[in-house]
């Protein structure tokens, strides 16, 4: 099967270079891993992403069976994700021309702007289209309020996309409820989670992290791995650390590269909080950590804390579980699906440092419980979330939509629609 993926802001080529920036994260990793797994299953994949570097060739062979196509849409430089909507007309026109020459069997759009660009081009050729949102504007608006910088029409576009594409792939059960609230019929959705590379993320020696920070004997290490934006809840973990004994430390991976940490405003905010609560000497910021170094970082931790205020899916708990580490996770979004409370870790309310501290203290005080959770997490990652299983689930959906009629395009979904 010839599969066209559209990932307008999240290039799969960025997934191995160290994540953590404001617009680089799980989608890059998920698109890359899915493309590779589908290629391993014998499919031909082209991932269309926006050109952000004039020196990059139009097409790059990422792996056998996987090509990354750099679409010219807007200036060839990095732009804030929310500014890209103005360039989706150009992106869509390029896709239409490309697909007229090489028509795919199915199109899979990742994120709402990718769907906005891909749907007109796919419909013009009668190609079925599947949509994964990765994050919903309605959820972002609810949690961020006035701080939400998304384009005003995002929620309306997502609602129309859900009604117009052949299938919406929700990454967790919570997202299905959100989609229904947007007017998307439940029968048009299928839950297909993201996955984890269980051959890359494996259990192992906990003594040393490839980041270079050796864990001292007797230290209880907590790891936080995420983009450094307020909603990720790193501040909650820092506040929780202040309630734990002095043998606990926190390593924070994410944000800019190490040399840029001192200039990052979110790092400055978190360092100020650490000083205010008296744990500045126990919080260590590593900056962006490359994909190859992440397993060693997880293995160096006694527990991984992932407590965002909201999270559409969240790869970090899966990666930690695959490395055999217990997870303290906020019971939100996809984390409520992946982490099993009392089996692979503990669920806590979002934004509650006391609950986070109590969950971490239970793991610190009971290493046998922590090891048991870690073993269960590894089993769950292998049996439920390996990319071979996740890719097979995508294949089934692609086959279903390819054999079905293509619905009419919603008139509200031309990329130039007014807000």
Domain boundary assignment for the chain: 2-195+387-413, 220-384
Q: Among 18-22, 166-170, 283-287, 386-390, whose mean pLDDT is lowest?
A: 18-22
Cα torsion through 397, 400, 404, 406, rounded to 10 = 10
Alpha helices in 48-111 (DSSP H): 88-101
3-class SS of residue 234 = helix
What per-residue string of b and e applies to 275-306 under the rule 16 or more CB within 10 Å gives b? Answer: eebebeebbebbbbbebebbbbbbbbbbbbbb
pLDDT at 211 over 70: no
Adjacent-strand bridge partners of 190: 169
d(CA 202, CA 112): 33
pLDDT, position 417: 45
pLDDT, position 391: 97
Q: Among 169-173, 271-275, 302-306, whose mean pLDDT is lowest?
A: 169-173
Equal CATH topology for 2-195+387-413 and 220-384: yes
Average pLDDT value for residue range 216-240: 93
d(CA 310, CA 293): 26
pLDDT, position 207: 53
In this predicted model, which residue has the larger pLDDT, 381 or 311?
A: 381
User: Where in 64-153 does DSSP place strands (E)?
Assistant: 66-71, 106-110, 129-132
Secondary element (H or E) of residue 5: strand 2-6
Residues present in the chain in total = 419
pLDDT at 18 over 70: no
Cα→Cα distances 298→25, 46, 377, 416, Å: 17, 32, 13, 44
Model confidence band, residue 149 (pLDDT cutoffs 50, 70, 90): confident
Average pLDDT value for residue range 37-66: 97
- The token pair at 16 is 């191995």
Residue 203 sits at φ, ψ, to 5 deg, of -65, 160
Model confidence band, residue 405 (pLDDT cutoffs 50, 70, 90): low
Per cent of the chain over pLDDT 90 is: 79
d(CA 249, CA 279): 9
3-class SS of residue 129 = strand
pLDDT, position 404: 85
Within 8 A by CB and 6+ apart from 97, the residues are none
d(CA 13, CA 170): 24
pLDDT, position 414: 54
pLDDT, position 206: 62
d(CA 345, CA 305): 10
Closest to 374 measured CA to CA, from 326, 313, 304: 326
pLDDT, position 238: 98
pLDDT at 48 over 80: yes
* CATH pick for 220-384 out of 3.40.640.10, 3.40.50.11900, 3.30.70.920, 3.40.50.2000: 3.40.50.2000
pLDDT, position 146: 81
d(CA 379, CA 169): 25
Average pLDDT value for residue range 267-288: 97
pLDDT at 383 over 70: yes
Model confidence band, residue 408 (pLDDT cutoffs 50, 70, 90): very low
Neighbours of 233 (CB within 10 A): 28
Q: How far apart are the first and last CA of the chain?
A: 36
- Fold entry, domain 2-195+387-413: Rossmann fold (3.40.50)
- The token pair at 239 is 């506040």
Model confidence band, residue 115 (pLDDT cutoffs 50, 70, 90): very high
pLDDT, position 412: 45
Calculate the average pLDDT of the chain: 91
Q: CB–CB of 15/63 below 8 Å?
A: no
């Amino acid at each position: 099967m010839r599969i066209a993926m559209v990932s307008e802001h999240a290039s799969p080529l960025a997934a191995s270079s160290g994540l953590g920036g404001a617009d680089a994260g799980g989608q890059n990793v998920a698109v890359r891993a899915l493309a590779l797994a589908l290629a391993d299953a014998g499919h031909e994949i082209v991932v269309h992403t926006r050109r952000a570097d004039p020196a990059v060739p139009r097409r790059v062979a990422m792996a056998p069976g996987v090509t990354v196509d750099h679409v010219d849409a807007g200036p060839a430089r990095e732009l804030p994700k929310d500014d890209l909507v103005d360039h989706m007309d150009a992106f869509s026109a390029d896709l239409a021309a490309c697909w007229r020459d090489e028509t795919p069997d199915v199109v899979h759009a990742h994120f709402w702007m990718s769907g906005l660009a891909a749907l007109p081009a796919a419909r013009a050729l009668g190609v079925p289209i599947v949509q994964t949102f990765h994050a919903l504007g309605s959820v972002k608006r609810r949690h961020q309020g006035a701080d939400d910088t998304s384009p005003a029409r995002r929620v309306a576009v997502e609602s129309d996309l859900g009604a117009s594409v052949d299938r919406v792939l929700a990454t967790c059960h919570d997202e299905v409820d959100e989609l229904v609230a947007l007017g998307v019929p439940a029968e048009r959705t299928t839950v297909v989670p993201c996955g984890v590379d269980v051959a890359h993320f494996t259990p192992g020696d906990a003594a040393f992290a490839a980041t270079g920070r050796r864990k001292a004997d007797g230290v209880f290490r907590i790891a936080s791995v995420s983009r450094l934006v307020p909603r990720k809840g790193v501040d909650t973990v820092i506040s929780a650390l202040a309630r734990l004994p002095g043998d606990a430390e926190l390593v924070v991976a994410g944000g800019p590269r190490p040399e840029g940490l001192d200039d990052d405003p979110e790092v400055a905010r978190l360092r100020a909080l650490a000083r205010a609560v008296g744990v500045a000497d126990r919080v260590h910021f590593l900056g962006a950590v490359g994909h190859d170094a992440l397993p060693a970082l997880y293995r160096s931790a006694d527990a991984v804390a992932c407590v965002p205020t909201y999270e559409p899916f969240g790869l970090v708990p899966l990666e930690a579980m695959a490395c055999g580490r217990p997870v303290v996770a906020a019971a939100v979004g996809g984390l409520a699906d992946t982490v099993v409370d009392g089996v692979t870790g503990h669920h806590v309310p979002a934004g509650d440092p006391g609950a986070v501290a109590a969950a971490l203290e239970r793991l610190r005080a009971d290493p046998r419980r922590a090891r048991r959770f870690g073993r269960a997490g590894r089993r769950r990652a292998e049996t439920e979330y390996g990319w071979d299983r996740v890719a097979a689930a995508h294949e089934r959906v692609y086959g279903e939509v390819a054999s079905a009629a293509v619905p009419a395009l919603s008139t509200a979904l031309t990329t130039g629609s007014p807000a």
